[in-house]
A and B are shown apart, each in its own frame.
Chain A
Amino acid sequence: DALLPRPQNISILSTNMKHFLTWSPVIVQGETVRYSVEFQGEYEREYANESWIPICECSLITATVCNITEDISATVAYNLRVRADIGARRSEWGSLKGFFNRITTSLTPPLMKVIADGYHLLVELEDMGPAFQFRVLYWKKGQASRIQQKVVTEVSSVVHLDTMEAGPDYCVKAQTYVEAINRSSSFSQPQCVRAQGGRSVWLV
């Protein structure tokens, strides 16, 4: 039996602290190829004889993607590798080129919805998981010099920002902050609303 070729084009897709390992499929006519993934943290390299740890959710899978978020849970450099199997035939390990450190994850601005509930300025933020905090800036349109800020550490429901005066527009924008990697996203596009009695009015 010819040795199976090792998986190629192994790479990481990491957005908002969700990390996925992907690779190109190994093509063998008429056969179902299965893949297994292992990881190695800096601890394993330096203190545990360079041992590798299998990810059981990604053992003998047919998909060419593996969610490694649960295992990449420290801000250190990780190695990752994949191999292919067809029955008793097995490939060599294909390894990710270079290390992966979650500090490189790409952070996107949070989804948010600004609500004028009567004279109350509210914002609804996307729940992005326990690692995320939010920095919300709000100001009266035309008075950008008097921006106010609220830091939201736990997304529960709607956040009350301010009590508005009737008439002027109020604008809001937000960014995420991830303490574990000490990084922030860029700001979302501002959304503006205006209070008019009890009715909500949208002005974008």
Chain B
Amino acid sequence: SVTEIRSGFTAIKANIQARDPIRTLSILSHPHSLHKVQSSDRCCITHHLFNFYVDKVFKHCKTEDSYVNRKISSIANSFLSVKKKLRQCHEQNKCMCGQESTEKFKQILANYKELNVTSAAMKSLGELDILLDWMEKSA
């Protein structure tokens, strides 16, 4: 659940964000924040982002710290659990993608490709609270 993801992330947030020296670029918020996404597109953006984190981000976030790795595993498995539920919504046409969400997600991928894969993954993980805040506000 999102609550468990939030508590897992809070436990390692400082550690992860300290590993991201690049302050001039945001993966999720550049150029526009998630808050500009219309409500009709929210499910689709969430679906895309959960796929993005599971497929691209977590696997490149291995650290030398066993505790951090365990928390990342917790978050990744929780994401996988939610991702499977969102896939059901998508398959039942309850999670339609509009023009805006498609554009927004393209921008996120473009931001991601600006950096080398490890830096991009670590920055994305460090921005997890941006995603969680947006999900909770728009719930």
Interface residue ranges, A against B (CB under 8 Å): 39, 41-44, 46-48, 53-56, 70-71, 73-76, 78, 130, 179-180
Contacts and interface: CB of A to CB of B under 8 A. Distances in A.
A39 B70 CA distance: 10
Contacts of B73: 39, 41, 43-44, 53, 71
B97 to A, nearest CB: 23
Interface stretch (B14-22, B35-43, B75-83, B114-122): B75-83
B1 A47 contact: no
B69 interface: yes
B59 A74 contact: no
A42 B81 CA distance: 9
Contact of A70 (B1, B59, B66, B70): B70
Interface residues of B, number: 20
B4 A73 contact: yes
Contacts of B79: 43
B54 to A, nearest CB: 6
A76 B82 CA distance: 10
A180 B54 contact: no
Chain A interface, DSSP helix/strand/loop, else mixed: loop
Nearest to A181: B1
Interface of B: 1, 3-4, 8, 54-55, 58-59, 66-67, 69-70, 73-74, 76-81
A48 B77 contact: no
B121 to A, nearest CB: 12
Contacts of A46: 80
A180 B82 CA distance: 11
A73 B79 CA distance: 11
A36 B1 CA distance: 29
B76 A41 contact: yes
A43 B76 contact: yes
Nearest to A182: B1
Given A43-B54, A48-B59, A76-B80, A71 B66 contact: no
B86 to A, nearest CB: 14
Nearest to B3: A130
Contacts of B67: 56
B70 A74 contact: no
A53 B77 CA distance: 13
